[in-house]
């Protein structure tokens, strides 16, 4: 019998990483996960065990992207590295370097450690942010050949993802570097594993609570977190994925009013508070001058950004869930969490 393969997953307490760990363990891998703070060990194990993960095949170690400490030991003995950790602030920082520096330098720390320890392949979870935030001719879909120009008027988060991925591809050209593959998800939704909700899942949570009362016609493409985990593993194991990047999207963008309509149609009483009225674009843009959270939504108004996921589908046999199924599963997971919280009182 062959020895089980060990995979390092960075940022183990995150939304994507949690689902990835569950899937890797189910597939028979040994998993070593990094966290910034050792105090998260017990809660992470509890959360993953509740999702069906086998804790006996999971090791949790402390390593922070802002320091070299711990990374050599974290990578040692791993055939593959899944670098998922990256800053994703709820609000954009005043100083863009607060997010750009840890994203870029943290990625390079992981790659240096992987190269030193002889890792076969590193898979980086980047973002559509690194692909689709510079203009293209109207109606032309974004795909893996596109890059966001960090010199454009983009947010610190978008710039951080772009510069971090660029730095990774530059590093991959060095002799002795591990193979590199990159997955670029759009907005990641899906069932939450615990009460610490990701920024995207918070959108569905807000809708279930009746917020915002008037819906901006903001649009974004959607992908299920379970399908992201699946694509990350395909990018890790498929020989043809070395040196490639893959856009992870379920299909074309949907608007907030469309998402709200799906929830009302599918959830019945569970969607009783979901708003049903939208708000004109001009009103959102006007309000964004004075209300910082509206600025992100204002940037998602207008013509939706068309996307093309054909590369992941044709090269790796990836078949994502629909956007409607994904947002429904997200809401059902949130309602289950709420019911469980009430039962525990």
CA distance linking residue 342 with residue 272, whole number of Å: 18
In the set 42, 136, 161, 305, the catalytic residue is 161
Residues in the chain: 345
Distances in Å between the alpha carbon of 200 and those of 33, 37, 74, 76?
23, 23, 29, 33
What are the contacts of 334-342 at 24+ separation with CB within 8 A? 334/192, 334/197, 334/201, 334/204, 334/205, 334/208, 335/208, 335/267, 335/270, 337/192, 337/194, 337/195, 341/195
Q: How far is CA 343 from CA 40, 209, 336, 339, in A?
A: 24, 19, 10, 6
Is-catalytic flag, 42? Answer: no
- What residues contact residue 130 under an 8 Å CB cut-off, 6+ apart? 147, 148, 158, 161, 162, 164, 165, 166, 184
> In the beta sheet, which residues pair with residue 216?
279
Q: Which residues are marked as active site?
A: 161
């Amino acid at each position: 019998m062959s020895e089980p393969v060990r995979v390092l997953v960075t940022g183990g307490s995150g939304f994507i990483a949690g689902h990835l760990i569950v899937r890797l363990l189910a597939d028979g891998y040994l998993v070593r996960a990094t966290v910034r703070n050792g105090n998260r060990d017990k809660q992470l194990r509890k959360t993953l065990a509740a999702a069906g993960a086998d804790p006996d095949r999971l090791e949790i170690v402390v390593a922070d992207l802002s320091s070299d400490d711990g990374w050599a030991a974290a990578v040692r003995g791993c055939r593959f590295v899944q670098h998922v950790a990256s800053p994703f602030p709820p609000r954009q920082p005043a100083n863009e370097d607060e997010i750009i520096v840890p994203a870029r330098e943290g990625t390079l720390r992981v790659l240096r450690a992987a190269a030193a320890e002889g890792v076969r392949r590193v898979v980086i979870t980047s973002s559509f942010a690194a692909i689709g935030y510079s203009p293209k001719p109207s109606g032309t879909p974004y795909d893996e050949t596109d890059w966001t120009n960090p010199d454009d008027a983009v947010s610190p988060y978008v710039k951080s993802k772009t510069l971090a991925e660029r730095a990774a591809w530059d590093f991959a050209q060095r002799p002795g570097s591990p193979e590199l593959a990159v997955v670029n998800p759009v907005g990641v939704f899906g069932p939450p594993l615990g009460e610490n909700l990701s920024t995207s899942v918070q959108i569905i949570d807000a809708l279930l609570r009746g917020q915002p009362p008037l819906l901006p016609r903001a649009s974004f493409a959607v992908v299920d977190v379970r399908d992201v985990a699946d694509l990350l593993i395909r990018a890790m194991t498929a020989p043809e994925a070395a040196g490639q990047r893959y856009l992870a999207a379920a299909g074309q963008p949907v608007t907030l009013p469309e998402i709200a309509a799906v929830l009302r149609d599918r959830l019945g009483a569970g969607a009783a508070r979901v708003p049903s009225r939208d708000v004109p674009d001009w009103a959102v843009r006007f309000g964004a001058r004075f209300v910082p959270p509206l600025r992100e939504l204002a940037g998602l108004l207008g013509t939706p950004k068309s996307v093309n996921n054909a590369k992941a589908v044709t090269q790796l046999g990836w078949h994502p869930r629909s956007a409607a199924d994904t947002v429904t599963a997200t809401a059902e997971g949130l309602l289950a969490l709420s019911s469980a919280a009430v039962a525990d009182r």
